[in-house]
Structures are given as C-alpha cells and as structure tokens.
Amino acid sequence: MSKKAEKSPKKKNTAENKNKKRHSFSFSKLIYNDKYLFALSIFLAVVVWITSSISVGSEETRTVKVEVPIKLSDQISEQLGMQYYTLQDTVEVSITVSGAKYIVGQVTENDLDIGFDTSAVSKTGDQKVPITVKNKSNTLDFSVDSVYPSAVDCYYDVDQTKTFDVNLQYDDSVVADGYVFGTPVLSEDKITVSGPKTYVDKINKLYCQVNFGGKTDLTEQFTQDCDVYIDGDGIITNYLTLTSRNDASKQVKNISVTLPVLKVVTLPVSAIFEDKPEGIDDSVFSVSYSVNNLKAGVLASADISTANIGTIDFSDLTVGTQKFDFATDSINGVAVLDNVPTVTATVTISSNYVEQVVRVSRSDITVEGAKSGENLSVTYLDDATVTVLVPRGTKITASDLSMKCDVSTRTKDNKYPVKIVVSNSSCWVYGKYVAEIK
C-alpha cells in the first residue's frame, strides 16, 4: 500500500513536465527557423519601403546662405551716363528653397542664379535694387520661395572727380619758448576725391587734425599719422573714394604729417653773386637791401647764420643801378616770421666800367656734349654782337671770348644757351645769348 502511494506522485510530475515542454517558447530555435526569418525579412522590408516612400515623397524647405558680390549692370552707365554706388561690396543673401527632401538637401549656391534687377532705375538718387534668384540647375527640381534681404540700397549719380588741398589743424602753442613750428610736411598734400557728383560738389575741404597727446614744450620735430576727414553738409562719405593725386590706384585714408620745430633767431640778409669774375673787387659794385635783418625760425641743428634771399647773376648787371626782388618764403632752410613777403636787393655798378660791344659769329661757338659720331653745327645765333662790361680804357675783341654750347641735355626746339667767358678776369658779359644747333 505504501509503495503504490509513493509511485503515484512521480507519474503526475512527469506528465506536467511533458506539458510544459510542449507549450514553452524557445527564441534560439526561432532564430534558426528559416521559414520564420524569411517571413520577418519580408515584413521589415515592407515597413522600411513604406516609411522611405512617405519621407522621400514629402515637401521640405531649406535655407541656403550665399555671400554675393554686388555687381550691377553696366547698362545704366551706358544708357544714362550714371554710376552706381553701394555702402558694401558684398551682401549675405538667405534663400529659402522647397522641394522633395532628397532634392533640397543637395541644393548649393552653384544651383542658384543670383542677380540684381536694375530695370527700374531711371534717375539719380537712392534706389532699392531687387535681388533676383532663379533655379539654374539642370538636374534638381526645386522652387525658390523667398529671398532675404530682397533688395540692396544703392545710390545712382553722375561720377565726379576733384582734387583738394589737405588742410592741417594743430595747436601751435605746444612748442617751447623761443621755438615755432615750421612749414608742415605732408605725405599727401593734395588728395583726389571721386564719387557721386551730388556729394563731391558739397565738399568744402579735406583736413587732418594733429593730436599731440598732451605733449608740450616741444623742441624737436613731431611726426604722426593722421586720418583724413571730409568737411561738408549732408555728405555720405562711404560713397566717396579718396586716392593719391599721383597714383589713382592708391586709396588714402590717412597721411603722415611732420611738423618741424624751429628755433627763433635774427639773421642778417645776404645774396649770392653767381659767375662773378675773379678780378672784381668790392669797389666795383655795391649792394643794399630793403631790410637788413629778418626774424626767422631755423632748425637748431642747422648751421645757418644768414638769410640768403637768392642768387644774382653777374650777366644781369651793367653800369648803374639794378633792383632784384626776392620772395622770403623761398629762402632755403629759413621760415621768415616777420611780415616781410619780399626783400629787394639794389646793386650798383661803378661808373669806372663801361659797356663794349664785340661782334661775333656762329663759327666762334664750340659745341660740347655731342654723341659719338654726331656732326652738329650752329645754325643760328640770336645776336651777332656781345656786350661786355670792361674797365674804362680796356679793349676786348672776339678772340678774348670763349663761347660754348652744351647739348648733352637735348631740347625740343634745338635751342641752347651760349656760355661766354672773357679771358680778362676784370670783365664780364652782360645779357643772355641763345644758339640753334642741329
């Protein structure tokens, strides 16, 4: 009885185990089931195809940004004689395109035809020129929906060019006592301005301002790079171009300014006598000046002891009195501070001298400076006589004169000055003489 009772539960457990094995799920067996994998692959492929078809077939928009050079049509210049001016060289354009997703994703600036429509421009003044964008691709089908900005601001006008002096503004009190500023030296003293005629005509002047940065008691020259400003009402300066007067391709925004600092001194007036014969002493001539001294500024390092007003050529002197005027602003190395624009030199030749006229000929002239193998001759002499200043009782003939023409530097009219020297060192030739040499 007890043995049967022990066997009965075992049979029951075995039946339950078989039932469990019959209903349990094995993933590993499923993976290695070819029929199941085939069915699953077909199902997933259909899902992917449907999803892709829906995605690819949908419309999508995309924004393409392009940096566009502003180059407007030359037709306006040709038809109306006007130029266009812009405040910028390029414009960043945001272009919205639409189309199938896989298409708009391929759109680049190379697929876009970007231009500017100037057809509405017919007069001078401010204009808004529309930006036009078209699809120029042969393979991509998309539409251009919007463009931002839709236009660029331009100014149309007749082109004008003028040259202006550069005015310099500075505080002249920053030098030390006993010193003054000399004439400023500018890297560009004249500047050419070009742009719309309306604005160029409004320019009053160009100017620079020197900033000493708080410096005072200057005794040495001051140098600074200064910006160039335009003075005038209602001018949009960005439309204007400033260039060097000597080089139109060189734009000018600032210039170098040098202010010499000069020491104030009082200088005696003097003049240089050129071609003075060696045998002439001070008793032969005398010179006086309308002012004997000039208050002036000179560089402290310069060895200047007189105000040399200029040169007097002995060929301009004859018996009696002659006057020569010299502008003081031309005195080399000296800035005259007195209100004396001109100094007159009065030269008197002693009455112990007389004029003597000597007859000469073309054959008396020696030609110098001719090229090798070149045969030149005097074809014309403007005067057949030469006036010579001689001491009373002295006799001069043509043989006492040395007459030369230097043709090393050629002239267009083949006319050259004749250099005449008298063998007698107490005499000189009066006047100027010209010969034609061919």
The better pLDDT of the pair 2, 70 is held by 70
In this chain, the answer to whether the domains covering 160-259 and 264-351 adopt an identical fold is yes
Statement: residue 214 has pLDDT above 90: yes
The dihedral over CA atoms of 286, 291, 296, 301, expressed in degrees to the nearest 10, equals 10
The residues spanned by each domain of the chain are 2-56, 59-157, 160-259, 264-351, 355-437
pLDDT at 205: 97
Give the chain's mean pLDDT.
89
Q: Are 376 and 404 in contact (CB under 8 A)?
A: no
- For 293-336, what is each residue's pLDDT tens digit? 999 999 999 999 999 999 999 999 999 999 999 999 999 999 99
- For 313-322, what is each residue's pLDDT tens digit? 999 999 999 9
Can you tell me the distance from the alpha carbon of 71 to that of 401, in angstroms, rounded to the nearest whole number?
73
pLDDT at 14: 53
pLDDT at 24: 54
Task: Give the C-alpha distances (Å, rounded to integers) separating 4 from 1, 9, 13, 263.
Answer: 5, 10, 15, 143
Can you tell me the distance from the alpha carbon of 12 to that of 25, in angstroms, rounded to the nearest whole number?
23
* Span 403-411, average pLDDT: 95
The better pLDDT of the pair 22, 432 is held by 432
CATH fold of 355-437, please? RNA Polymerase Alpha Subunit; Chain A, domain 2 (2.170.120)
Pick the CATH number of 160-259 from 3.40.50.300, 1.10.3720.10, 2.170.120.40, 3.40.50.880: 2.170.120.40
Domain 264-351 has CATH 3.40.50.10610: no
The percent of residues in the chain predicted with pLDDT above 90, rounded, is 73
- For 226-253, what is each residue's pLDDT tens digit? 999 999 999 999 899 999 999 999 999 9
* Span 327-353, average pLDDT: 95
The percent of residues in the chain predicted with pLDDT above 70, rounded, is 87
Gyration radius (Cα) of the chain, Å: 49
pLDDT at 28: 60
- For 7-63, what is each residue's pLDDT tens digit? 444 444 555 555 555 555 555 665 566 666 677 778 777 767 666 655 555 689 999
pLDDT at 31: 59
Statement: residue 5 has pLDDT above 50: no
38-52, 61-75, 205-219, 259-273: range with lowest mean pLDDT: 38-52
pLDDT at 1: 45
Q: Is 303 helix (H, G, I), strand (E, B) or coil?
A: coil
pLDDT at 49: 67
* Span 366-377, average pLDDT: 92
- For the whole prediction, is pTM greater than 0.75? no
Peptide bond connecting 196 to the previous residue in cis, omega within 30 degrees of 0: no
* Span 165-190, average pLDDT: 96
Q: Is 329 helix (H, G, I), strand (E, B) or coil?
A: helix
Domain 59-157: give its CATH architecture. Answer: Beta Complex (2.170)
